[in-house]
Structure 1
Amino acid sequence: MTHLKNYQIPVQLRPFVKAIYLMQAPGTGERPPHSRVLPDGCVELFVNIGDTADSFEVNGRKLNGSSFITSRMNCFMDISSPKQAHFITVWFYPGRSWLFFDVPMSFVANQTVCLSDICESQAEAAKEMEQRVEAALSDEEKVQAVQEFLIEKLSRNYRAEESFQSI
């Protein structure tokens, strides 16, 4: 049975993040059948906190990183999860994820990309976040490490006063 836990979104992230979940599916020994996910216009960040040797497949392509972003703008995706899944997912509001990643969202539209593959500056920050998640002792600490990563990215890329000046 799949266990899904919803986490409180920090105040700084609430205008941008729709939900933060931790999902754990203990597995049954066989890889579950693929799921078809319909487009919703949202970007999601997945951080695998389980065994990364058995990874996700999206549209038949195996993902090799611990963290990846997926963007279902206007195409469905066929997803095959590992036998056992344990991950954190951050679901961004439509059009609100661009502040957290160093590339235009058109780069990831309708595809899934390992977070470390986006660009060099993202790779170091992603690796540091993944190391903090791996070192954390509890699921709550793992979620907190992801939240702190996002707050740091937001503080570097967003200035509220600048967005009001452009109106």
Structure 2
Amino acid sequence: MNYETYHPHPNLAAIVKCHWTLEVPGDLEAPKQRVIPDGCIEMCFILGDDVRRFTDENEFIIQPRTMVFGQITKPYYVQPTGYVNTFAVRFYPFGFANIINRPIAELADKETPLTELFGERATRELEQKIINATATSSRIEAVESFLLQQLTDQSTVENIVKSTIDALAQSKGSASIDSILTDDPSKRRNLERKFSKQVGISPKQLGKIIRLQAALKMMLDNPEETLTQVAYENEYYDQAHFIKDFKAFTGINPKNYLSDDQMMLSSLIYSKD
């Protein structure tokens, strides 16, 4: 399993967190992989064999070859049918709202084909450039050119949204919204409305996801840490609170996280993020 990340062009660095690639040989028997919330939106190009996304225990759909997966608020499962070769763009929480003209919340917890967002002609042209490219650098050049054409005025990124996300990131998700808006708590309703428009989830929910990501990374980097230590370092009320949030976003108990083969992909991604 080979996962790599790449920095975006400086002109896109305000909205794009990274580009990434994932390759897995087709001769490996791949179990279902649990995908968990990370607060970001992904634009994905499936270049290998099809990928299943499970809608329940035994039912699944085949994911579109080119798609955007919106904000994730609950875990879901994917499983490759053979060779995995994926190229993708990971957007910051507020980033993707700057290149489309529809409510970002409509994209949550599902895959949306690129044709629905950018039209048949523009999407097919981009697809062919991505498919025909012989190197990742060429794919990055093609998708960045496309994104720059779609990008609206960067002033549409509301300061109140970006400053709140920055504060949540700096506190690893532990800061309360009231503490962030200390200068004017009355801004909260305005913030909620702008978050819904630009991020697709509430600031409180994003804060929980960011804090969970910090806890996951700590568990990967320091597997000897106890759950009590992880909960304390990430400012959960107590271990019970940590376990409750962990299970809500991942579907499993944190004790089973490091040994769960359905978390191999997530663990690989978060270890490099």
1-side partners of 2:66 and 2:104: how far apart?
17
More strand by share: 1
Aligned to 2:81: 82
State whether structure 2 residue 153 is matched by structure 1 residue 158.
yes
Q: What is the TM-score with the length of structure 2 in the denominator?
A: 0.51
Unaligned runs of 5+ in 2: 55-59, 159-273
Matched residue pairs, number? 155
1-side partners of 2:9 and 2:127: how far apart?
19
Stretches of 4+ aligned residues off by more than 4 angstroms: none
Q: Residues 102 and 122 of structure 1 are in contact (CA less than 8 Å); yes or no, is this contact kept in structure 2? A: no
Root-mean-square deviation (CA), in Å? 2.4
Letter aligned with residue 70 of structure 1: F
What do the CA deviations read for 1:42-101 (whole angstroms, capped 9, x no partner)?
211111233xxx3112222112x3211112431211111231111111111112211223
Aligned to 1:97: 96
Say which SS state the counterpart of residue 146 (structure 1) adopts. Answer: helix
Displacement, 1:150?
1.3
Q: Residues 42 and 94 of structure 1 are in contact (CA less than 8 Å); yes or no, is this contact kept in structure 2? A: yes
2-side partners of 1:132 and 1:44: how far apart?
19
> Of the candidates 32, 35, 39, which is equivalent to residue 33 of structure 2?
35
2-side partners of 1:3 and 1:29: how far apart?
13
**Structural mapping, 1:60-75, within 5 Å:** 60-63=60-63, 65-75=64-74
Q: What is the TM-score with the length of structure 1 in the denominator?
A: 0.80
Say which SS state the counterpart of residue 105 (structure 2) adopts. Answer: helix
2-side partners of 1:79 and 1:122: how far apart?
26
More helix by share: 2
Q: Residues 43 and 97 of structure 1 are in contact (CA less than 8 Å); yes or no, is this contact kept in structure 2? A: yes
Q: Residues 16 and 96 of structure 1 are in contact (CA less than 8 Å); yes or no, is this contact kept in structure 2? A: yes
2-side partners of 1:122 and 1:106: how far apart?
20
Aligned to 2:53: 58
Aligned to 2:45: 47
| Alpha-carbon distance change, 82 to 132 in structure 1, aligned in 2, over 3 angstroms | same
Instruction: Give me the identity figure in percent.
Output: 22
2-side partners of 1:82 and 1:42: how far apart?
25
Aligned to 1:6: 5
2-side partners of 1:110 and 1:45: how far apart?
13
- Higher RCO by CA contacts (8 Å cutoff, separation 6 or greater): 1
Name which one, 1 or 2, has greater alpha-carbon Rg. Answer: 2
